[in-house]
Structure 1
């Protein structure tokens, strides 16, 4: 028995790269798949590939930052397959720009796709989903990446969306997780801090299929890093020891705390590798 047999899932940005790999793998494991992409011909090619292999796939083309399109994707899924059991919020963009040189139009577009797209699609899916699974595309850039401030902000938002939605939807039987993958895609090529390397998108697909499946029934609210065959769960934002306490604080005591105990290393010394 294939692990997604009988399930219907929507995958955004599935015309190429990671989304295409997720869709093809999910279909091979028995899922009926709605292929979303802004490029309808690319989406059609993925759907045709899946159906030529005996799978089930339909296309719902359009931008995820349009709430009407988010509703249409879910409607397509329920009309074609009778249900929606999963959503993969994969659609996203990134670019590099130094602070002060960033174009406000580019900033707005990125936030609308990466953040509002995730929110709109999640909102639409939850209204029609019984028990199910939502998988978001996060990034280690959420902690702040040089020359990618807007992208970093968007992935910090995705991490917050994941944690908040997981907590809210737990009692409804809907799991929400995010993956932070490393793979060589068109998006990775936009990262000028990384060289042209990394595994193909197909290496990430089994993780997404697992999270969509009932095998992951206990897994929710997690940020999962999958990089160069290394798999681990990332910690959510939390206090770092030591936690200092005094009866009263003034500027001098605060300065001493930071200089001697709270930030002993140089916080600006950060190295980045390939990845979303």
Structure 2
């Protein structure tokens, strides 16, 4: 038996890039897959790749940003395969823009897909899953802070926080929830010379896919509430935020005592902020500067960080 034999899995944003790799790898591991993408033509192409290799898949053009369509996506899986065992919440949008140039309509669209899409599809999926179900949310290392991608980073921080909370809530139901922060050479990096240099051709989406398949299967039983980063050669757990010592206590705080706390104590304990400042030097080489497209519709899909 392979890792996902007998399981039914939904992968959103699976028409190309990382989502396609996740869907194909899951199918190769034995899963019956619903390949979802708002571009149903691309979803159908992915289905063709899977079936050509002897796998089982159907296409879906539902939009995860609409609650009714997200429910219909889950219903399709149950209707086709009689069950739902796994969900990969991969669909997403991304663009680079400096914060003072943000356009409200694009912010709204980004949040609707990257946050509400994860929530809508996740809620529908967890209601349909039995014990041993698994949800894999695709987050991004950008949630630690990334130049020129503030709104995107915020949505991926929401996905990480949602993962922690859902993992707690779903323990009793036997459903695991984890998040993956991937980096791979996809169309998202094609427009930036530095990204192309720092994300070489061998960092393909297929190198991230085994991690997602592992998290969907029984072999990862006991792994939940984790955010895991994979950029191809590197695989590691992302630490949760924590309340940092020293903890100062007074009966009450006033203007002067707060100022003294920062001047005399906290000044030596301030945290680095932003993804680049948090990574050790050997892991910074792939970071890109902000890219501000002339046309704000120059966006890339699918949660690739």
TM over 0.5: same fold? yes
State the Cα distance separating 1:187 from its structure 2 match.
3.0
Range with greater deviation from structure 2 (229-238 or 199-208): 229-238
Instruction: Name the CA distance, whole Å, in 2 between partners of 1:136 and 1:57.
Output: 20
Instruction: Name the CA distance, whole Å, in 2 between partners of 1:152 and 1:192.
Output: 21
RMSD: 1.9
Instruction: Name the CA distance, whole Å, in 2 between partners of 1:55 and 1:3.
Output: 14
Structure 2: 5+ residue runs without aligned partners?
277-283, 289-303
Structure 1, residues 27-48: CA drift from partner, whole Å, max 9, x if none?
0000000000011111001101
State the Cα distance separating 1:186 from its structure 2 match.
2.2
> What TM-score does the superposition give when structure 1 sets the normalisation length?
0.94
Describe the SS at the equivalent of 1:100.
helix
Where does 1:107-256 land on structure 2 (aligned, <5 Å)? Answer: 107-131=107-131, 132-189=133-190, 194-198=195-199, 199-256=203-260
> Are 1:183 and 1:201, in contact at CA under 8 Å, matched by a contact in 2?
yes
The count of residues paired between Structure 1 and Structure 2 equals 276
Instruction: Name the CA distance, whole Å, in 2 between partners of 1:59 and 1:42.
Output: 9
> Are 1:184 and 1:196, in contact at CA under 8 Å, matched by a contact in 2?
no
Instruction: Name the CA distance, whole Å, in 1 between partners of 2:252 and 2:64.
Output: 50
Quick one: structure 1 residues 51 and 228, their matched pair in 2 at CA, closer, same or farther if it must change by over 3 Å?
closer
State the Cα distance separating 1:257 from its structure 2 match.
2.1
State the Cα distance separating 1:10 from its structure 2 match.
0.1
State the Cα distance separating 1:195 from its structure 2 match.
4.5
Describe the SS at the equivalent of 1:157.
helix
Describe the SS at the equivalent of 1:171.
coil
Structure 1: 5+ residue runs without aligned partners?
none
Quick one: structure 1 residues 261 and 183, their matched pair in 2 at CA, closer, same or farther if it must change by over 3 Å?
farther
Instruction: Name the CA distance, whole Å, in 2 between partners of 1:203 and 1:263.
Output: 41
Structure 1, residues 132-181: CA drift from partner, whole Å, max 9, x if none?
00000111211222211110110111011101111111110110000111
Instruction: Name the CA distance, whole Å, in 2 between partners of 1:16 and 1:250.
Output: 55
Instruction: Name the CA distance, whole Å, in 2 between partners of 1:137 and 1:190.
Output: 22
Instruction: Name the CA distance, whole Å, in 2 between partners of 1:4 and 1:268.
Output: 39
> Are 1:60 and 1:72, in contact at CA under 8 Å, matched by a contact in 2?
no
> What TM-score does the superposition give when structure 2 sets the normalisation length?
0.85
Range with greater deviation from structure 2 (26-35 or 176-185): 176-185
Q: Which has the higher contact order (CA 8 A, sep 6+)?
A: 2
- In structure 1, the partner of 2:49 is 49
> Are 2:10 and 2:74, in contact at CA under 8 Å, matched by a contact in 1?
yes
> Are 1:10 and 1:36, in contact at CA under 8 Å, matched by a contact in 2?
yes
Instruction: Name the CA distance, whole Å, in 1 between partners of 2:68 and 2:275.
Output: 40
> Are 2:138 and 2:159, in contact at CA under 8 Å, matched by a contact in 1?
yes
Quick one: structure 1 residues 189 and 260, their matched pair in 2 at CA, closer, same or farther if it must change by over 3 Å?
farther
Structure 1, residues 73-105: CA drift from partner, whole Å, max 9, x if none?
111111111100000000001111111110000
Structure 1, residues 43-67: CA drift from partner, whole Å, max 9, x if none?
0011011111111000111221011
Quick one: structure 1 residues 171 and 268, their matched pair in 2 at CA, closer, same or farther if it must change by over 3 Å?
closer
> Are 2:92 and 2:113, in contact at CA under 8 Å, matched by a contact in 1?
yes
